[in-house]
Amino acid sequence: MFNSVLKDILVIIFLFCGTILLSQDCSISVQGRVLDKVSQLPLSYVNVYLQETSQGAATGNDGRFFFNDVCAGHYHIIFSHIGCEDTKLYIELERDTVINIDLDHSDHSFGVLVIKDQKDNLSTQPNLSVNRKKIEDSSNQNLSGLIENEVGIHLIKNGSGISKPVVQGLYGNRLTILNNGIAQSGQQWGYDHGPEIDPFAADNITILKGASALEYNGGNMGSVILVEPKRITREPHLHGQVNYSYESNGRGNNANFRLEKYSRKIAWRINGTLRKYGDRKTTNYYLNNTGLQEANFSIQLEKEWNEKIFVDFYASSFNTRLGVLRGSHVTLPEQIEQAFTLLEPFYTEPNFSYGIDAPKQHVSHQLIKLKAKYYQNETSVLEFIIAGQLNDRKEFDIRRSGRSDIPALSLKQYTVNVDFTYAKVLGDNWNFKIGNQAIVTDNTNNPTGILPLIPDYLSWENGIFATISKKINVLQFKSGIRYDFERQEALTITNTLSKEILRYTNNFQNVSGLLAWEVDILDHQTISINSGLSMRNPGINELYSFGLHQGVSGIEEGDVNIVSEVALKNILEYKWLPSPSFSLSTLAYHQRFKDYIFLNPQDEIRPTIRGSFPVFKYEQTDASIYGVDFSTQFTLSNLIIGQVKYSYLRGDDTKNDVPLIYMPPSSVFGSLTYRTLNPINLSSKITLDEFEIELNNRMVFEQIHILAEQDFIAPPAGYNLVG
């Protein structure tokens, strides 16, 4: 009896479910239009891919696409176009649906203040952006390498594994890098100290070149690099990604992964990176001790309440070991002279090795951040951030009596950041923003048996800024002002035979301001003018460093009499975007410095118990840095896109009427990219969703604007890099 009833129930359930399946609506249409984000013109040949059904469509000249006879359900739609970052949408399809979307087709980012989405980069602020697709395609690169081919960007390289960016001639203490909204705090003053940031954890890297950088703390002089993850996509599925790349020179292995999932309870994302390289190779020999090892991890958590309160937690850990070329450390003064002229450095090896021995660096950087936003209404938002950073740097030298595993320099730095900002859209297209930023830094030398290069110190910084902007028809206007106060307390040890402890206390006050305009002169043509005054007080290294900087094989000496430097920067930019298939930008800039601080090479090779090394001293002068950045992007067909970027840069020591040292030479970069519109079936089981190949060339010209007596050796000849 029971079995008979059970069979009847199962039959009813089967018939009911079958009726549901048979009656499922599969006559739904999905259509829409794709526009260029900047010009708002239709984009043709955009590949639109319905992932769950493997259906594809391409937009016509009017930017429109169509899908017919689609069943109800949950779908992912991927929009891809040559020159654009892929955009993925998640939709719950129940009826005929229209989707209109903008794709960012240009390297240049433009926008206005939008409170709800917190997009506050006004177009009067010149900037460049590297998107997620490029980050993924270059997953073997560090942060500096990712942006090297952007217009106006150069690199300072110290060997094969260490590099730091130069933006329109600014680097080190003058260039602020924000890691997820927090000014990166470490030993960024060193030429051999690259940014301790994993770029794979970011979704967007933005280079701000305008005076609007005054909204960001960190001592910048008009340029800021923003490394930012995006908010977690609001869809319920688990998404993951794994990248692996291999580089033949150094036999380098790079692996990255990302996992993320959105939930109303809490959204989460995790990232990880592993890198390992061995000795780099020239045509005839291996560069001994030039490997690196790197392990990074980050986690991001998000929670939203009633669309009023948004909380974001972020933590990251960056850890690296870097070898320093063995041939860069020599003992006798005559070996220094030989090293300057040798075609092959000392201590090269015929065989490959992954080993990392002294001289070397061990560096770790930990960041933890909590951000809370409160949306009062559609026109105003409050934001509060508290963050902590720990930077641990150890540099190892070749030491006697088996002491090479004891660091010659061991610095540990703790930093606490507290930020508060308030943004409001006022009536009649006025936008207002005000903020307060406080930083406390504690820098300590761990005992190494050697006098420290820089002293122990404490610093307290507080900055207040306010900006206001307005759009009037074809004109956009922005102005702002900033005030910073910093107190430094340094504990130094004299270099006399009878050691003494000297305490220094410094109080610095700096004022910065900006004015910016942008005018639409004709259809899709704009001219912008950006002027900014900025001040920067000297860093601890510029005031008090004394001793061997092992990473650059040089002796560095500070000067306690150095004062704050002042700079006035003017930018004129012309942009023309007549269509999604062509864009052009030309930017000219001039920055004049009073009391410019720089590390000046001395005519001295100093023998020490640790070897013989050239001597450098921090000095001040008046200077001008100026140049032109030109870029154009063009579509040759629906499958091929090209770009050309040219950067001209020059610096002058106006007080002594000589060239300014450490200025990078001019360069030009060009590329052609081919990308398929539709998936490629390699076999019945293997399909390439997309295929892209790029041919590029970077030409770096010889630096001829320098005198022979200004450096120990002449600049290298110009060169081409083809990739």
Q: Indicate the residue type of 618.
A: Y
Inform me whether the pLDDT recorded for 251 exceeds 90. Answer: yes
Q: Indicate the residue type of 283.
A: T
User: Can you give the pLDDT at residue 252?
Assistant: 94
Position 648 confidence tier, pLDDT thresholds 50, 70, 90 = very high
- Cα 553–Cα 560–Cα 407 angle in degrees, nearest 5: 35
Position 649 confidence tier, pLDDT thresholds 50, 70, 90 = very high
Position 702 confidence tier, pLDDT thresholds 50, 70, 90 = very high
Q: pLDDT exceeding 90 applies to what percent of the chain?
A: 46
User: Can you give the pLDDT at residue 19?
Assistant: 42
User: Can you give the pLDDT at residue 68?
Assistant: 86
Average pLDDT of span 205-220: 77
User: Can you give the pLDDT at residue 101?
Assistant: 85
379 within 8 A of 422, measured Cβ to Cβ: no
Which is it for the CA torsion 356, 144, 186, 419, positive or negative? Answer: negative
| 720 HSE (CA, 13 A, CB side) | 5
Please name which of 565, 655, 558, 674 lies closest in space to residue 189, comparing C-alpha atoms.
Answer: 558
User: Can you give the pLDDT at residue 105?
Assistant: 60
Higher pLDDT, 605 or 253: 253
Which tokens in the block code for residue 493?
């040890």
Classify 141 as helix, strand or coil: coil
Q: Which of 334-348, 380-394, 442-456 is least confident? A: 334-348
> What would the pLDDT profile of 590-609 be if each residue is shown by its tens digit?
999 999 999 999 988 888 87
User: Can you give the pLDDT at residue 211?
Assistant: 55
d(CA 631, CA 413): 40
Inform me whether the pLDDT recorded for 23 exceeds 60. Answer: no
User: Can you give the pLDDT at residue 198?
Assistant: 94
Average pLDDT of span 364-392: 95
d(CA 219, CA 537): 8
Position 212 confidence tier, pLDDT thresholds 50, 70, 90 = low
> What would the pLDDT profile of 483-536 be if each residue is shown by its tens digit?
999 999 999 988 777 778 899 999 999 999 999 988 888 878 999 999 999 999
528 within 8 A of 518, measured Cβ to Cβ: yes
Q: pLDDT exceeding 70 applies to what percent of the chain?
A: 91
> What would the pLDDT profile of 45-101 be if each residue is shown by its tens digit?
788 888 888 788 888 888 898 888 888 888 888 888 776 777 888 888 888 888 888
> What would the pLDDT profile of 438-482 be if each residue is shown by its tens digit?
999 999 999 888 888 899 999 999 999 999 988 888 888 899 999
Which tokens in the block code for residue 637?
């067909």
Domains of the chain: 2-103 (2.60.40.10), 127-722 (2.40.170.20)
User: Can you give the pLDDT at residue 119?
Assistant: 39
- The 3-class SS string of 2-49 reads HHHHHHHHHHHHHHHHHHHHHCCCCCEEEEEEEEECCCCCECCCCEEE
Higher pLDDT, 139 or 9: 139
Higher pLDDT, 222 or 657: 657
517 within 8 A of 476, measured Cβ to Cβ: yes
Average pLDDT of span 303-327: 92
The chain-wide mean pLDDT, for the chain, equals 86
Q: Which of 218-222, 387-391, 393-397 is least confident? A: 218-222
| 356 HSE (CA, 13 A, CB side) | 20
